[in-house]
Amino acid sequence: MDRWISDAMDNRLEKRYDLKTAVSMVIGIVIGSGVFFKAVKVLSLTGGSMGHSLLVIGAVGLICVVCSCVFAEMGTKYVKCNGVVDYAEASLGQGFAYCMGWFMSAIYYPVIGSTLAYISARYTCMLLGLESFGQANMSIAVLYLVLAVVINSLSPKIAGKVQVSMAVAKLVPLVVMGVVGTIVGLVNGNGIRIFTDTSAAGISQGGGFFAAVCAFAFSYEGWIIATTINSELKNPKRDLPLALVGGALFCTIIYMLYTYSMSATMNAAQIVEAGDWLPKIAFSRLFHSNAAGTIVFVFIIVSCLGTTNGVILGCMRGFYSIAVRGQGPKPTFIAEVDKSTGMPLKSCLLGLGVCAFWLFQCGALFFNGPLVMNTTGNPLWLMAWEADEIVIVTQYALYIPIFVHLIVRERKFSPFKRFVLPTLGIGACLFMCFCCWKSYGTYLTVSYLVVFAIIMGIGAFFYRKNPSMELLK
């Protein structure tokens, strides 16, 4: 029954996207705000060591490539409209698929989307000279979320073109800084001295390699969202593997070049002290012009908005993918596809509402979360964790049963695809979980699990073991 529903859902969506759109979606979602503000955090967590920072970037990139390879192989077999949810259904059945779909719709997409909107608004405020931790920031963040939903809802084709153009635009500062900065750093010697520079040791947060891996995971996240348009790709069996693996490898190279290029004009201490202003300061020094720093900020905002647009593209299909299976709250109502736009507008609006909830959590964290501590050093506020990081690790944990299924049941795959790839994927996911625990500790990890259990419990309330097929007739 559930497979019939899934097939019917896939048939209702137009084959509208090509390889260019799929690749740009991966790059456009992955490359965004993360690299601009997480690079500083990684350098700080690693004690100001450029060598360790590059190792962190490479390690997270390798994890993404490994997991991408596994899903790319599964994507050649399961050409469905909700990617990882369909993979979950194939592994552990309808119940696990529903749990995965609910997690993606109620937690993953909204958390990532709201965080990106908040960061986009933050950089906008910095550019305009406004307070970056206040009412203006939250208002602009809400505006960005609404605009992303409107664009993707009213015209999917325009949204696809926007994604392509923004993917190109966001590469400009990364490529320019990565190439020019690397060359300059090697010529003036700063690119060599940075590996022995200990100037940031006294001002760094410390925290170590594992905390840095957990932090930088956000910079890579989003590649899995490309699987949501698998059934809308003109040639999914060819395009999805190329988009996932190729996009992940490309992003890893760009990230390493960009981070390394910061050493061209700045030492480790200056990079850490720059904080969110790092891109502007680095560009201004590299090109000896304040205007260059201002221009790069504009590109960063475009980059952040491009990532937000890509995440919202997946977010809007979240509750629809559940409802069309006859699951979740009001499935018949939410599964309706608007005749004029061809988009599930009810699902779009519900996704926007959940994003608003997580946007409040994100804003509250930056306003108060890190400051509310008790005498033992533990946060008093239950949600005093960075949702963007810990939610991403949760996603990796949920991949494990899917990879185990591939080992146990996919007998038609070659030994390498059946045993080696998923085993490496399981190891990568377990490593991410370990890094998260080392980063947040027991107190915050447990507090997140409590919130996670409550939200998943709400989803369980709406679960139907044998959903009706009437809504698709």
With helix as H, strand as E and coil as C, how does the chain read?
CHHHHHHHHHHHCCCCECHHHHHHHHHHHHCCCHHHHHHHHHHHHCCCCHHHHHHHHHHHHHHHHHHHHHHHHHHCCCCCCCCHHHHHHHHHCHHHHHHHHHHHHHHHHHHHHHHHHHHHHHHHHHHHCCCCCCHHHHHHHHHHHHHHHHHHHHCHHHHHHHHHHHHHHHHHHHHHHHHHHHHHHHHHCHHHHCCCCCCCCCCCCCCHHHHHHHHHHHHHCCHHHHHHHHHHECCHHHHHHHHHHHHHHHHHHHHHHHHHHHHHCCCHHHHHHHHHHHHHHHHHHHHCCHHHHHHHHHHHHHHHHHHHHHHHHHHCCHHHHHHCCCCCCCHHHHCCCCCCCCCCHHHHHHHHHHHHHHHHHHHHHHHCHHHCECCCCCECCCCCCCHHHHHHHHHHHHHHHHHHHHHHHCCCCCHHHHHHHHHHHHHHHHHHHHHHHHHHHHHHHHHHHHHHHHHHHHHHHCCCCCCCCHHHC
412 has a pLDDT exceeding 60: yes
The answer to whether residue 123 scores a pLDDT higher than 50 is: yes
pLDDT, position 156: 62
pLDDT of residue 159: 64
Return the minimum-mean-pLDDT range out of 18-32, 102-116, 345-359, 397-411.
18-32
Arithmetic mean of pLDDT, 452-472: 79
Tell whether the model's pLDDT for residue 468 goes beyond 60: no
More confident residue, 237 or 293: 293
| d(C-alpha 85, C-alpha 102), whole Å | 9
Per cent of the chain over pLDDT 70 is: 83
Percent of the chain predicted with pLDDT > 90: 31
* Domain span holding position 102: 2-472
What confidence score (pLDDT) does residue 165 get? 65
> How many domains are there within the chain?
1
Q: Tell me the pLDDT tens digit for each residue of 243-289.
A: 888 888 888 999 999 999 999 999 989 988 888 888 899 999 999 99
| d(C-alpha 147, C-alpha 136), whole Å | 16
Give the domain CATH number at 266: 1.20.1740.10
pLDDT single digits (tens) 137-159: 888 999 999 888 887 777 666 66
pLDDT digits (tens, 9 = 90+) for 355-411: 988 888 777 665 444 444 444 445 545 566 788 899 999 999 999 999 998 899 888
CA angle 259, 262, 265 (to 5 degrees): 170
Q: For residue 379, report the phi and psi dihedrals to the nearest 5 degrees.
A: -65, 140
Question: What is the structure's pLDDT at 8?
Answer: 43
| Pick from 96-100, 136-140, 351-355, 383-387: least confident | 383-387
Q: What is the pLDDT of residue 245?
A: 81
Higher pLDDT among residues 11 and 392, named by residue: 392
The pLDDT tens digits of the residues spanning 198-232 come to 888 777 666 689 999 999 999 988 777 666 666 67
On the question of pLDDT at 43 being above 60, the answer is: yes
- pLDDT at residue 365 in the model: 61
Residue 472 has pLDDT above 70, yes or no: no
Phi, psi of 452 (to 5 degrees): -60, -45
| Model confidence, pTM | 0.84
Dihedral-angle region of residue 189 (phi above 0 means left; psi in -120 to 50 means alpha; beta otherwise): left
Task: Say what the pLDDT of residue 79 is.
Answer: 62
- Rounded mean pLDDT of 118-130? 90
Of 267, 263, 253, nearest to 186 by C-alpha is 263
Model confidence at 413, in pLDDT bands (50, 70, 90)?
confident
